[in-house]
Chain A
Amino acid sequence: MSDPTPIGKLKRSHLLHYIDASFSDNTAADWTPSWYLIGKDIEDMSVELNPDTSIKKNILDETVVEDNGYEPSVAADTYYANTGDSIYSRIKDIAMNRKTGDDCKTTVMEVVIDTVEGLTTGASSAWIEDCIVKPQSYGGAQGGVNIPYNINFDGNRKEGTVTFTNKVPTFVASS
C-alpha cells in the first residue's frame, strides 16, 4: 500500500471535534458511541491546553521549570437548542436539572484529517478522551435558544484512527 498523500495546509474543517451524545461508558465492551459533531454556528473554537508550568530559581541561581502537564478544555460558545440534535436532550437535562459529576461525563473525539485519502474513505488520526460537558448559560438573543457549553478533558486519552462511512465516524484505538 502506498503512503498517504499529505494534504498541505489544513482548513479549519479538517480539525473535527465530536462528543458522544449517548454519554455512555467508553470502557464498556458494548460501547456504541453516538458521535455529535461540534461546530455548527461556531466561527471560532480552539482547544485551550492551559499548560501548567512554574519557574523556580534554586540557591545556585539556576532556573528550573516544573512542568505539571495540561488542563485542556474547549468552549463551544454557540449551541442553538434543536430537538433534532442527538445531544439536545442531554444538554437540556444537564442545564435544567443542574446535573453534576458522572451525569456530565462522556467521551470527546478529536480528528485531524491531514491526508488526501482521509477526505474520502481513508483513515485519519484521531484521539478519544473522557470529558465533562458543562453548559455555561441558556437563553441568548432573539433568534434561538443558545446553550453554550464547555468541555473539560478528563484523562484516559487514547490514540487511534477514524474512518467515515456515510459521514458517520468510526474510531479504532491503536493497539
Chain B
Amino acid sequence: MITCSCPSCNRRYSYPVIECTFCRVPLVEQETRTGEVVGVTEVSVPSLGHEEVPYWCALVARPQGGFAVVKRDVPTSVGDRITFGVAEETATHTIGVVGSGVMARGLVELFLARGQRVTWVGRSLERLSTARDKVVDRLARVMDEEQLSSAVSRLELSENASAFASCDLVLEAVVEEVEPKLAILREIEAAVGPECMIATNTSSLPLDVLASALSDASRFGGMHFFNPPTRMRLVELVRAPETSDETDGFLYDLSVSLGKIPVRVANGPGFVVNRVLMPLLNEAVRALEDNAAPAADIDEAVRLGLNHPMGPLALADLIGLDVVVSIMEDLHARLGDDAYAPRPMLSELVNAGKLGRKTGSGFYDYTPPPAP
C-alpha cells in the first residue's frame, strides 16, 4: 500500500494527494510491503464482497510509522510479521503435481497463487503446455505483470517423474482408478528424496490400497481438494494406516497456509463429503422418477430450501453422471446400503451416453440453441 508523507511536518496522508495541506510542500510517496501485526480479529460474520468466513483482519504497524488493515485468509497472530498481498506470505515449498486434468490444473493454479514452487509432470509435454497456458491465463486475471512473471518462473514442466527429485511434497491427481494411481505412486517414490511427502487427491479410493504401492507409507496421506481448488476452502485430510503424525501435521499446516480449512476424516468409503452427497443426489433422482416435481423445480427447491449454491441434479450433471454412478456403485458395494444404489434413471441416462454437461445433455440439455 502507498501512503504519502510530508517531508516538513511528517503528517501522513492515506490518499492520492500531492501537497501537504499545512506546509504546502510536495508529499513523498512511501510504499509499504511488510509490517508487524499489533492487533487481529477473526471475523465470523460475512458481508457483501467478503462472503467467505472466517477470515482475519490484522492491524499492522508499518516500519516507517502508521498502520494498515490487512485481510488474511490464514490464521494470524499478534507479533506475526507479514507481507502485504497474499502471494509472498507462506513458507515456500516445492510441490510436485501429477496429472493434466481439470483438478491438477486447479491445484497448480492454487499453489502458484500462494507463492509455492511447482513441478508439474504429465504424460505429454504438449498437453502440459496447453494446460499451463490456461493456468497462466487464469492467474493473469488476479495478478499484475510482476506477480505473474514470478508465478511463471516458479513453475517447471516435465514428462518425467525424475523432475520430482527436489520436491517437498508430490500430490498425484491422475484418473480416479486404482491401477494408474498405484503405478504413478511407485514412480513418484522412486524419484523423490527420503524427506519428501507424498499425497493423493483421491476422492474415494481407499488409502490403504493406494499406500500398498509404497515401501515407506508413513510419508503418505490423502489430501482431497474440491473443484475448483482456488475457490473451495475444504480439504479432506485422510490418513492411511501407516501415515505418520509428522506427515499428517505437514499436510494440515500446508492446507492452512494455502487458505484452506482442513478437516480430518477417516479412511472410510466416500470420506465425508461424497458419503453425504451421494444419497442426496440419488434421492433427487428418485424424486424426479416419482414426479415429485420437474427437474428444474427440484433443483430450485433444494437450492433455496437448503441454501445450496446449485441444485442436486444440476450438480450431478456438472460432476458427470458416469462419475456419479461409479462413486455410488463403489459406496454401495462397500457400505451395503441401498441408499447408494444408483437409481434406474441415472443408469439409463449413462447407458444412453447422456453424461451431463460434458456430453451436452443429462438431466438438462446443454446444447447451444441453433444460430438463427
Q: Decide whether A and B assemble into one complex.
A: no
Q: Please report B residues at the A interface, Cβ cutoff 8 Å.
A: none
Q: Please report A residues at the B interface, Cβ cutoff 8 Å.
A: none
